[in-house]
Structure 1
Amino acid sequence: MGIIDSMWRWLGVQTEVEEEYTELPTPQDRESRSGANVVSIHTGKGIRVIVCEPERFEEAQALADHLKNRRQVILNFESTRPEVSQKIIDFISGAVYALDGQSQQLGTNIFLFAPSSVEITSDHKSLMRKHDILQPEPFGGKR
């Protein structure tokens, strides 16, 4: 600022502008404040699948409870007596129906039961080919 600026100020035509300085927070202050705004994205629970080889009908209620708690249940009846297997399948199928769930036979003695929150999709033709459903037996008996 020169002499002319001083003269203008003395006459009152131009006023001196005082600049205000605000002190910016130090990087350490910024880090402590930014931590308060952090939100965890992974708040959902993981998906759980229950795999079971039931031996007695008494286990059916616990399996239905897993479905009520939105867990998928895979049942393997390879070592279960056929009459017990049928009772358990009937019981669990009723629970699946009541919960608007789905069921799928995966193999000869393996079944998948899922709650309504899970959608089961499958390639029906490959399943039928695998179990020889599409291939009719020849006339007069077995192949």
Structure 2
Amino acid sequence: MGVMNRVLNFLGLKEEEENALDKDYAPEEVEEVETNPFEQRKIKGNVVSIHSQKNVRVVLNEPHSYDDTQEIADHLRNRRSVVVNLQRVRPDLAMRIVDFLSGTVYALNGNISKIGPSIFLCTPDSVEIQGAIKEMNMEEHYN
């Protein structure tokens, strides 16, 4: 095959000639049928694209009582990430809230991560937390 034939083939102006030897080793071509996404959804039934989520929301929440944790759990069930600030609640109540949220994210296959003093990030299973934030001691900060 000459250079001119290769250029014409590359530009799509001439179809490539197949040799008899190439036909023996050529894999069978599978015909692909294009369908629009709506038709695919009807065909596949309950299968939904993972890229269908357009608005990703992160909710900031500062609970004042244990009853406020139900609202945080509802956000997680609706696949929203929640930043929980527990700096304004008593330490024993903060521990109860963290325990409840830990159970919630476990049940939803999500994650909980401490991102600051008494601040936690709770995410559903569709969000991956990458990296870690080291806790800084006050003595190290001022020395």
- Shorter-chain TM range is 0.5 to 0.7
1:23-102 aligned within 5 A: 44-102=53-111
Equivalenced residues, count: 91
Q: Which 4+ residue blocks in structure 1 deviate beyond 3 angstroms?
A: none
- The yes-or-no answer on 1:113 pairing with 2:115 is no
Query: Partners of 1:97 and 1:86 in 2: how far apart?
Result: 16
Equivalent residue in structure 2 for 1:131, among 121, 126, 136: 136
SS state at 2:127 partner: coil
Query: Partners of 1:90 and 1:105 in 2: how far apart?
Result: 13
CA offset digits 1:20-75 (Å, max 9, x no partner)? xxxxxxxxxxxxxxxxxxx9xx9643001110111100011111011000000100
Query: Partners of 1:97 and 1:50 in 2: how far apart?
Result: 19
CA RMSD of aligned residues (A): 2.3
Q: Tell me the CA shift for residue 92 of structure 1.
A: 0.7
CA offset digits 1:53-106 (Å, max 9, x no partner)? 111000111110110000001001111111111111100110000000011100
Paired residues of 1:48 and 1:72 also in contact (CA < 8 A): yes
SS state at 1:54 partner: coil
Query: Partners of 1:86 and 1:79 in 2: how far apart?
Result: 13
Q: Which runs of 5+ in 1 are unaligned?
A: 1-38, 136-142
Q: Which runs of 5+ in 2 are unaligned?
A: 1-37, 39-50
Residues 117 and 43 of structure 1: CA distance in aligned 2, closer, same or farther (over 3 Å) = closer
Percentage of identical aligned residues: 41
